[in-house]
Structure 1
Amino acid sequence: MKTEMPLPSPSILDNDFYKFTMQCAVVQLFPDVKARYTFINRGAHEFPDGFGAALRDLVDRMAELKLAPEEHRYLSKNCPYLNAAYLDLLAGYRYDPSEVCIEQTGTALEVSVEGHWFRTILWEVPLLFLISELYYRLTRQQRDSDEQVIRNTIEKTTIYKELDVPVAEFGTRRRHSYEVQRLVVDTLTAHGGKSFVGTSNVHLAMCARTKPIGTHAHEWFMFHAAKYGFTMANALSLEHWTDVYRGDLGVALSDTYTNDVFFEQFDKKFAKLFDGVRHDSGDPIAYSEKVIAHYKKLGINPAYKFIIFSDGLNTGRVAEITHAAKGKIGISFGIGTNLTNDVGLKPMNIVMKLTAVQFDGKRWVSTVKLSDEPGKHTGDPGMIRLAKEVLGIE
């Protein structure tokens, strides 16, 4: 079953920014590590006949993408913390479809990726948006018109401007389609004013002349736990990040092994080195109060720090958080699915997680993530139990 798109993606930069920043760090610090990623169908979606074959076709054609000279110049100018050696490596990078395994049995879909971490790290987000886009196309679901998408986006950004809060678009991985995401970013750029501060999608940031936004993801901490142990994961993840970026990209993700465990290790050194933290699970208002108290305990004025909220946000949730936290600490919001897949259809609930890593060609070590929301725990059940025991998590 062939698809209509001439290419599965318009650019190799059609990806979340933190995949490139992490890739740069992996190349520098862990070039020999191998990784395994696994697709998780949280929404129990049923895939139509031929879906796996159609996805295989799209994945195979990802190998045609390469960094264009103007894209290289854009990254060099706008992201100076990505060193010249990395950008040259990216210029020579090509997706290797043989790293991706796709199997469909009935309506069930299995997708996994395996290979060197510095190479496979770029597959996660494209695989998710390809699955999402292909699902809507092959199930023949009709989305809202472009005009309705624009109206919806203008209504949302009007609220964000009234709240006077910074908002970034974070919706690449579960977008309805590239066309919708492009429409949303263009509308935010035209109507968002100073409230719209950028997008996680590097290609669209370049097209819209806005800022690419992102630092690192859960997999950075999951890898460190597998290599160095659960008790050292947060501290070494942050230490290695600062070794590479020397103060740039200073937002720390806090919930890979629960926020409570993170802040036990987020001491004065890290609290001063990092500009702020990102919230991705648990109650956001309780989280903001915890972060403010933590900074105050360390003798740091929270007004000079900030929190990026990025967990399942919509206009109502943003307003609630703003009223609770604004003026106490800097706040901004990364909004994903509510912007790029609010088109009159049910958004997909799918993720792709780092599930194992291999060091020096030895045995594979399972990776786990312990969210503040139990339903978001991922990984081998035995390893999850071990992590909870080691970290003292009930």
Structure 2
Amino acid sequence: MAKLTSILDNDFYKFTMQYAVVKLFPKAKARYQFINRGKHQFPEGFAERFREAVNNMANLKLSKAEKIYFSKTCPYIDPTYFDFLQGYQYDPEEVKIAQHGSELSVKIEGYWYRTILWEVPLMALICELFYEMQDEKRVSDVEVKHIVNQKMNKYDKLQITIADFGTRRRHSYAVHDLVLDALKDHASNTFIGTSNVHFAMKYQTKPIGTHAHEWFMFHAAKYGYKMANLLGLENWSNVYRGDLGIALSDTYTTEVFFKQFDKKLSKLFDGVRHDSGDPIEFAQKTMAHYESKGINPLNKTIIFSDGLDYDKVEKIVNFCQDKIGYSFGIGTDFTNDVGLKRMNIVLKMTEALPEDAEWTPVIKLSDEPNKHTGDADEILVAKRFLNIIPHA
């Protein structure tokens, strides 16, 4: 049965954001909601099985070995955080689960510093349990590794660097483990790390990540849409002082982001992450932005992470080569390429409660309109407020 075995089986940026939230917004609260983008039909009894898996997460604890590894790997995080994490326990009461026919409802509510860790492992459990209950046969363990090596042989020829970003929509823990084993054994320097801290520790590679959309969504709830990117990045740099320097650019569209990404921040951050919209257009806008600030784009990096496969990566490399730095985060194309239909699900923050304020709807304005999340009326308000053209 689908079950997590380590509290570190989560994306690195969840922990880095948690540390920042503990420092800056310890009284803030948040609400999250499951979104079934792929319209998957959940089998009868799914909610009960999922509830059991979520309840089991209350038993996860940071081990002494995990604490030592994590603190040594991240010297820029205060020791007090690792003491906090050692005492942290998931509270299943923060997660409300219901099923109506084949539709699944998952809602989370609680202090932001606590609830921030739920999203990724819940999505991983939903995927694993879904495949488990469908009882559809995946390719063999040997074939999983063969597929990874075939892909890596092609990526090697592009002379690029790649990280695994596939925790949230992986087929299963077992497949993820096989993928990391194959990546680590592959005889090249192409693979540089994983977003999953547990697997980074297990395979002695680098945990990779910085922050996610919810960081800026909360800042919009607290400070308003026009200040969300600027203050989000200012607060991030105040906490990390130059470490973890890749800025996420598309919470309120790239156009809006670059208006707020001033010269100081453009110089301070090592680069930006692309997560929606056309990657070539994004690269062009990014290079133009840096050049307008008198910054050589070759001294900066774009991390591409939006639904990547080999063809998309090759196209990006052919455009960006000798123009700007680049690296790639590959998700489900590594961890859910097992001969079955991949799941398309997300779990997003929907409301935030800053200290001494009130519950405020939060939204994400992706560079792809069909990836917008949040209340439709609030999306229109944000677009008007940010002067976003109607088709954006």
Same fold (TM over 0.5): yes
Equivalent in the alignment of 1:242: 237
Q: Identity of paired residues, percent?
A: 59
- Asked if structure 2 preserves the Cα contact closer than 8 Å seen for 1:101 and 1:112, the reply is yes
Q: How does 1:109-124 map to 2 (within 5 A)?
A: 109-124=104-119
Which amino acid is the alignment partner of residue 275 of structure 1?
Answer: D
- Asked if structure 2 preserves the Cα contact closer than 8 Å seen for 1:157 and 1:192, the reply is no
CA–CA distance in 2 between the matches of 1:169 and 1:315?
Answer: 14
SS at structure 2 position matched to 1:193: coil
| CA deviation map 1:104-133 (0-9, x unaligned) | 011110001100000000000011000000
| CA deviation map 1:3-43 (0-9, x unaligned) | x35xx112100000000000000000000001000000001
| CA deviation map 1:66-96 (0-9, x unaligned) | 0000000001111111211111100000000
Shift of 1:363: 2.9
Q: How does 1:285-364 map to 2 (within 5 A)?
A: 285-360=280-355, 362-364=357-359
- Asked if structure 1 preserves the Cα contact closer than 8 Å seen for 2:221 and 2:354, the reply is no
Which amino acid is the alignment partner of residue 37 of structure 1?
Answer: Y
SS at structure 1 position matched to 2:152: helix
Equivalent in the alignment of 2:148: 153
Shift of 1:230: 0.3
Q: How does 1:1-394 map to 2 (within 5 A)?
A: 4-5=1-2, 8-191=3-186, 193-360=188-355, 362-394=357-389
Which stretches of structure 1, 4 residues or longer, exceed 4 Å deviation after superposition? Answer: none
Flag structure 1 segments of 5+ consecutive residues without an equivalent. none
CA–CA distance in 2 between the matches of 1:301 and 1:373?
Answer: 28
CA–CA distance in 1 between the matches of 2:355 and 2:162?
Answer: 42
Shift of 1:312: 0.4
Shift of 1:192: 5.2
- Asked if structure 2 preserves the Cα contact closer than 8 Å seen for 1:161 and 1:192, the reply is no
Shift of 1:147: 1.0
Shift of 1:361: 6.2
CA–CA distance in 1 between the matches of 2:129 and 2:77?
Answer: 32
CA–CA distance in 1 between the matches of 2:281 and 2:368?
Answer: 14
Greater displacement, 269-278 / 78-87: 78-87
- Asked if structure 1 preserves the Cα contact closer than 8 Å seen for 2:8 and 2:196, the reply is yes
| CA deviation map 1:333-376 (0-9, x unaligned) | 00001000000000100000000011336531000000010000
Aligned residues: 389
Which amino acid is the alignment partner of residue 229 of structure 2?
Answer: N
Shift of 1:155: 0.7
TM-score (structure 1 length as normaliser):
0.98
Does the C-alpha gap of structure 1 residues 259 and 141 become closer, same or farther in structure 2, counting only changes over 3 Å?
A: same
TM-score (structure 2 length as normaliser):
0.98
Flag structure 2 segments of 5+ consecutive residues without an equivalent. none
